[in-house]
Amino acid sequence: MGAAVIGYFKTVFRATWAFVEGLWITLCYLFKPSVTVQYPTEKLVPYDAFRGMLLFDASTCIACSLCAKACPSACIALESQVHPETKKRVPKAEWYTLDLGKCNFCGLCQEACPTKPKSVWHSLDYEYAFSNRDEMVRCWKPGFPLAGRVWDPKGKAFRDLESYIPVREVQGRR
């Protein structure tokens, strides 16, 4: 009888204490800073190894097409320039395209690129959204911005990206 009474009060005390512990934990969390990022007005900058949107710099590219060969999903295509007088190929890209619909962000093109700094590289930009499939194919010609432009099949011209908002200019090129 006595043991039962003691056990009863022990159970009551244990249960109450468990509730108090739980309340204490939630109270502690209440006064901890929240970890939410207010995304559109506050953006995180990813770590340096982050593989974001691919950028291309036509001014450093030597049109060796190593990136196109390294690409496992065959999303890179390019053509080198032809010298206007000698009619010979020069180590400059005439055009360069990346089909981001195929790209799997493996970073092999960046590893294969022999130039220094890299001509094609992953930036830290993670804010890429496409409003149609044409936008997935990024095109570069000499003089285009690093993010490239998009071929507009209706207007038969290149147009700037609509949905491109770079997080930071570019990642440190390796």
Residue 144 makes contact with another protein by CB under 8 A:
yes
Residue 58 sits in the site that holds another protein (CB under 8 A): yes
Residues 54 and 123 sit within 8 Å (Cβ to Cβ) = yes
CA distance 43 to 166: 11
**How would you classify the pairing of strands 149-152 and 137-140?**
antiparallel
Residue 99 CB burial class (10 angstroms; 0-12, 13-18, ≥19):
middle
End-to-end CA distance of the chain: 78
Closest CB to another protein among 152 and 169? 169
Per CB under 8 A, which region of 55-63, 70-78, 102-110, 128-136 contacts another protein? 55-63
Q: Is 33 near another protein (CB under 8 A)? A: yes
Sign, CA torsion 125/65/109/134: positive
The enclosing H or E element of 122 equals: strand 120-122
How many amino acids of this chain bind another protein (CB under 8 A)? 50
30 binds another protein per the rule CB under 8 A: yes
87 binds another protein (CB under 8 A): no
Q: Is 49 in the site for another protein (CB under 8 A)?
A: no
Closest separation between CB of residue 72 and another protein, Å? 25
Sole binder of another protein in the list 4, 26, 87, 88 (CB under 8 A):
26
Reading phi first (left if > 0) and then psi (alpha if -120 to 50, else beta), residue 52 is in beta
Instruction: Work out whether 157 is an interface residue with another protein (CB under 8 A).
Output: no
- Near another protein by CB under 8 A: residue from 82, 142, 157, 163: 142
Question: Are 121 and 110 contacting, i.e. CB atoms less than 8 angstroms apart?
Answer: yes
Q: Look up residue 20 and give its amino acid.
A: V
| Residues at the contact surface with another protein, assessed by CB under 8 A | 12, 19, 22-23, 25-27, 29-38, 40-45, 48, 57-60, 81, 90, 92, 116-117, 141-147, 165-174
